[in-house]
Structure 1
């Protein structure tokens, strides 16, 4: 039994037996028999994050419905709360509570994985155990990401003076600001894909441990970006739609924002900005809108580089295909070398006959080495001969590699 009392929040290392050192919230759900099974905790970790991300993203969709309902039921620019919007806000708050619960369970499972791997951590789940497992900062960041949301029974306005025009301040509601900030939850989407990937690939973790490689979320995301081009395109599409809606939230309250007051033009403007085309036919008028446009431009540069890398990976030849292309090139080059050599022989022989005839007639001969036509055909022959040597060298360097593949 433990000999030292601890606080649930800070935690503390205690002198206790092996069974007493294990303390997890999952034990409340009948997981006590699996407390030393690392594969069980990995599955629990992935499952908890799937539920966490699903709740967070469902909350975003509900918040969009709240915001659109308030906007289209408004009188002028004055939005009015209704029973339906209040109910939706309560549902958004409920999804956030569920997300926080599974955020706690997710990091609790992470700590249990560390304990099963032999890492000595403080007792229970707390600040000390999170810090010792190097998860405290990420836990606080995730908790902060889940915080913004349209709270029920909370509705106020914020006035922002536009520095580009001497007009009345632009009025944003608390729902506008919280809705825009809620889209930060999109960062859970690539992690969600990574956790789903890990749930069905237990052997990948074992092989990685044997090769001293840690398969974490960032490793899986980078691997999916390279190996699965569709995943990359889905994430870019979701990011594009999200930033387009944020642009709409920033521009729609501006009284004269006729062009960017609907989602379609905002999506068009975002795509044009991300692709660095910049026609200039649609431009944001508000300070916040221009800030979002700058972020879109920077994100577009990153997305284009990722897309180019993915396209290059798709069109690049693999080793067997490269071997076939090398064989074709060598055959073509061999034929060209023979043709150029024949042209050299023919040209030299013709000039030789002309020199013989000139000598018989008492005229001066033209030296073969300095004859322009002969020099040209010799230059062409040397070029194709160098190409033949290069291809032969390439074949020797990759011969073992190709044989291993075969």
Structure 2
């Protein structure tokens, strides 16, 4: 924190982007990044030496400006990443349809555009991390940016650079790999595959910028009050927290968009891996609908086996699809379970209706016990019973036992229904009512003690007057009451 005593004339946050300093020089300067050449206006105007600490208003405005810049840089980075992916898909489809060759000028121009977008993406990612370091120094009042360069931050920046630098290079290059037959054996001859296949697949990893885009544009991340509440409760506003909030607010839309995007991307990548096999398998997997069918059965973990991948690249994509499908299925089950759960009002209505139903059945079974018992009493008074009467007695005894068993079962159901109806809400309500009742009892007790004290004071006055009439000067005897500690007013 700043140790500089703030001038009351300096506003906490600058107005219209102007610095909240003193003098005409300082009033004409914008909030810019701190550097060694930055100058601060002084009252005398003879020196422009920067003070050791900036005031709070400058840091707040600088922090807000850095947040806005970082959000704009993230938007441009995502646009460059999506542009590179679109150009890669366009060039790959044109080359696969034999409309252009990878050595043609059109293919080279498309790849040069991909290279330009990749270079721009790397520059914007570097600027993003630079702004992150500057924001860290501003938040922690650091004078040297090297204090913010932790190993984790450096590894994160380098890994993002490595992910985004991969893209198809201009030219026509080929590699060879082996495929597998239906019996699991390797093929005799390797398959000639363009190098662009291996360089195109990692480009979809650039879509991690979508997560950053959602985080920076989230209302929870941009709101200052939310940031303050999170800091007080030690909550980090990262993508994991934003993902949980999205899943809590819009679970159906979020899962639908994620699953459809995953389905389309994996189908296209599987087709790209399998379309350069031999003539038969290339014809089967060259059809995008067949790839979608294979991804669908892998996503649902069914696996009919009518269409199988032949390359290790395609098999790896199928395995990843199955793993992601299992996770998405678990999320869908959790969302459906939460959607199908009754609300608190619905639970009250349901329990009330069930209580009425069980009460009616309990009355019916009690009436059956009385009816069967009375009939048994009548038949047992007969001395010489016929076979029909003995059979009737056995039937009545069976009905009586069933009625008694049903009464016990219905009572157990009512008890379980009552136990399940007691939730945290009911416990909290009962606790509040008990607290109010105890407070009322204590207030009444205190009022009663006050009235007793008043009665005692009145009796003392009456006693003194009576003593004055009879000429007796004996004092009024004080009652010896036990010591009572003071009571709290609350629970």
TM-score bracket relative to the smaller structure: 0.7 to 0.9
**Shift in Å, 1:283:** 0.9
Find the counterpart in structure 2 of residue 188 from structure 1: 209
Shift of 1:95: 2.0
TM-score (norm 1): 0.80
Bigger Cα Rg: 2
Q: Work out which of the residue numbers 176, 179, 184 in structure 2 matches 1:159.
A: 176
Unaligned runs of 5+ in 1: 1-18, 25-32
For normalisation by structure 2, the TM-score amounts to 0.67
Query: What residue is the counterpart of 2:261 in the other structure?
Result: 238
Please name the residue that 2:450 is paired with: none
The structural deviation recorded for 1:392 is 2.2
1:177 aligns with 2:180: no
Select the residue among 248, 253, 272 that pairs with 2:271: 248
Taking the TM superposition and a 5 Å limit, the aligned residue runs for 1:28-39 are 36-37=60-61, 38-39=63-64
**C-alpha displacement of 1:380:** 1.5
CA contact (8 A) 2:372 2:400 kept: yes
Partner of 2:334: 309
Q: Does 1:168 align with 2:189?
A: yes
Cα distance, 1:327–1:165 mapped onto 2, change above 3 Å: same
Contact 2:179 2:311 in 1 (8 A): yes
Q: In 2, Cα distance between the equivalents of 1:180 and 1:365?
A: 83
Task: Classify the secondary structure of the residue corresponding to 1:388.
Answer: helix
Displacement, 1:182? Answer: 1.0
* Residues 396 and 195 of structure 1, relative CA distance in 2, 3 Å threshold: same
Within 5 A, what are the aligned runs for 1:202-213?
202-213=224-235
Match of 1:89 in 2: 111
- Is 2:103–2:171's contact at 8 Å kept on the other side of the alignment? no
Task: Evaluate the alpha carbon distance shift between residue 395 and residue 311 of structure 1 in structure 2; reply closer, same or farther with a 3 A threshold.
Answer: closer
CA distance in 1, matches of 2:303, 2:385: 76
Does the 8 A contact of 1:320 with 1:402 survive in 2?
no
User: Are residue 101 (structure 1) and residue 101 (structure 2) matched?
Assistant: no
Which residue is 1:224 aligned to?
246
Give, in whole Å, the separation in 2 of the partners of 1:359 and 1:107.
Answer: 103
Report how far residue 277 of structure 1 moved.
1.4
Give SS of 1:135's match: helix
Q: 1:135 — aligned with what?
A: 153
CA distance in 1, matches of 2:139, 2:383: 94
Which string of whole-angstrom CA distances, capped at 9 and with x for unpartnered residues, describes residues 6-35 of structure 1?
xxxxxxxxxxxxx999459xxxxxxxx965
Q: How far apart in 2 are the matches of 1:44 and 1:345?
A: 84
Matched, 1:389 2:415: yes
Residues 70 and 81 in structure 1, CA contact (< 8 A), matched pair in contact too? no
Q: Which one of the candidate residues 307, 311, 316 is aligned to 1:291? A: 316
**Which of 396, 399, 403 is matched with 2:426 structurally?**
399
Per-residue CA deviation, residues 28-62 of structure 1 (Å, 9 max, x unaligned), is xxxxx965433443333333223222221221111
Structure 1 SS opposite 2:217: helix
- Structure 2, unaligned runs of 5 or more: 1-30, 37-56, 432-491
Report the alpha carbon displacement of residue 118 of structure 1 after superposing the two structures with TM: 1.9
| Contact 1:248–1:260 (CA under 8 A) maintained in structure 2 | yes
The answer as to whether partners of 2:268 and 2:288 remain within 8 angstroms in 1 is yes
Aligned to 1:27: none
Is 2:89 the partner of 1:70?
no
Once residues 161 and 364 of structure 1 are traced to their aligned partners in structure 2, the CA distance between those partners, rounded to angstroms, is: 87
Indicate how the Cα distance of structure 1 residues 46 and 329 shifts in structure 2: closer, same or farther if over 3 A, else same: farther
1:276-355 alignment to 2 at 5 Å? Answer: 276-355=301-380
Question: In structure 2, what is the Cα distance between the partners aligned to 1:332 and 1:312?
Answer: 26
Shift, 1:117, TM fit:
2.8
**What CA RMSD, in Å, does the superposition of the two structures yield over aligned residues?**
3.2
